[in-house]
Amino acid sequence: MHAVVYDRPRELRIAEVVDPLPGPGEVRLRVRQTGICGTDVHLHNGEFFPVYPLIPGHEIVGEVDLLGEGVEGLSPGQLIALDNMVTCGVCENCRRARPAFCVTLRALGVTDPGGFAEFVVAPAGKCHPVDDLDLDTAVLAEPVACAMHGLDILALGPGLDVLIVGAGPTGLILTQLLSGGGTGRLTVAAPTPAKLELARSFGADEIVRFGREDPELAVAELRRLAPGGFDVVIDATGALGVLEQGLEMLRVGGTLFVYGMADENARLPVSPYDIFRRELTIKGSFSQSYSFDRAVLALRSGRVRPDGLVTHRFGLGSYGEAVRTVRDDRSCVKAVVEV
């Protein structure tokens, strides 16, 4: 089969590799579509604990192709959204309901072969049938699962004044989930007008253009909206400047939620005295756990809509261009590789 292969950071090739075969309890999927996200950009640069040689791709939708011994309940041709996290279930972290930190974690597209290939093999229990969804909806299952896990960690009470900074795929998915989840007011700030209009269509009460050229204007507008600060500021960008500003825009007792993925070596200057004096909270969210079923249900019910999210499409042979687009092109909301 053909696959995207990294042997080291920033050096990818489209290679002919051996077709994988499913073992007992496993399924081989013929990949139909795999989403690209910021994690894939970090993996391109050698971050996020990749294991080489690496076939990336973790937002995977495919059709059941071969069943391993003992697999029941799945049939060839079924469309599947794949949960890429494979955990042991018995280590200390798994037992404490932290499976994303499993000591033997396998993550398809990070430590194990992923979906930027013609075929991928995965445990049958990680396969979620989505025959009733179109590809552009089903491919959002993994990012929606991550957003839901984030909201599990955030544990928002009702009626809060919430600011999301960033209107990429995760920011827009969070907008949809939060707009129907009891927030008192939801504001979205981002640099791209078209993405802000999407946020408005998904339920944002206020939108603010947070341009890189003149961020002071955006900060002034946000302070006008919330003179005492926001209850919650969610960073969906991974940018240090946004995180620093987010701390300053919190009200007393507020929470900064680090959802966007910063560079591994990035460091955020934080005043312990300010955290102490204003009783602030900083939370983070990593990957997803116990949320994939709920994500599929939210897509199936229309609670999370795919409208306007997939904006760019590439083939396997154009994967390098796809990574550059996700990294550099502000018009890109969500890019997918079609196999």
Render pLDDT for 36-51 as a digit per residue (tens, 0 to 9): 999 999 999 999 999 9
CA 83 to CA 144: how far, in whole Å? 11
Number of neighbouring beta carbons within 10 Å of residue 70: 10
Query: What pLDDT is stored for residue 270 in this prediction?
Result: 94
Query: What pLDDT is stored for residue 212 in this prediction?
Result: 73
More confident: 7 or 180: 7
Q: Domains along the chain? A: 2-140+306-338 (3.90.180.10), 147-284 (3.40.50.720)
Residue 216 has pLDDT above 90, yes or no: no
Sequential DSSP letters for 105-169: -EEBTTTB--SSBSEEEEEGGGEEE-TTS-HHHHTTHHHHHHHHHHHHHH-PPTT-EEEEE--SH
Q: H helices within the chain, ranges in order?
A: 38-44, 92-95, 135-138, 141-154, 169-179, 193-201, 215-225, 240-248, 272-278, 292-301, 319-328
Burial, 11: exposed, middle or buried (Cβ in 10 Å; 0-12, 13-18, 19+)? exposed
Query: What pLDDT is stored for residue 211 in this prediction?
Result: 76
* Cα-only R_g, the chain: 20
| Confidence at 58, pLDDT banded by 50, 70, 90 | very high
The separation between the first and the last C-alpha atoms of the chain, rounded to the nearest angstrom, is: 11
CA 19 to CA 193: how far, in whole Å? 44
DSSP state of 17: -
User: Structure tokens of 242?
Assistant: 């946004």
Residue 16 has pLDDT above 90, yes or no: yes
Query: What pLDDT is stored for residue 202 in this prediction?
Result: 98
Backbone angles phi, psi at 80, to 5 degrees: -130, 135
Residue 326 near residue 304 (C-beta atoms within 8 A): no
